Structure 1
Amino acid sequence: MIPLMGLVSVVSLHWAQFLRCSGRGGNRALRYRLEIAAVPLIYIVCVMAVIVLFELLPYLEEFVRGLRANAGRLIPPKARRGSPGQTTLR
């Protein structure tokens, strides 16, 4: 959902340019050119640090908590009881 919301935000802020790019705006004879700009290394390092901090660490922390709660097993003992496909106790 986040990439879609980012696209909607950019399109809504630059509606006239979006119409021109889609062929519905005033100047239809647009020329596209590829422009490659070098991204500073500090920007890449900061973005990767934020990704690790807010995305990866919470998942790892939850994984470790689950292992501790299940005595180091990936599947809790309660789920192993009974026949296959019947994982709930009634």
Structure 2
Amino acid sequence: MPADFDLDKRLRKSARMLRAWNWMAVISTRRAEAVHILREEAKWLIQLGLEHPRHARRIGRLIVAYRRLIEAIELRMQQQEAA
């Protein structure tokens, strides 16, 4: 991580991104792309949690929220394909 890396600022950005994608997932027609972006962010958060174990609980909550959103989008994709 860069010397000027601000963990709190980056976690707030990740939470904002999650809220934005939560809304965008409803109206998006490119859901596979959304899933890819969300997975990349979740992977990054996992790595961040390993590097900052003191913040593991906060980071873990974000990871779980990302996973739930990914699962919801994938379910919508399956329902759309079945229709």
Fold conserved between structures, TM > 0.5: no
Larger Rg: 1
**TM-score, length basis structure 1:** 0.27
Q: Which has the higher contact order (CA 8 A, sep 6+)?
A: 2
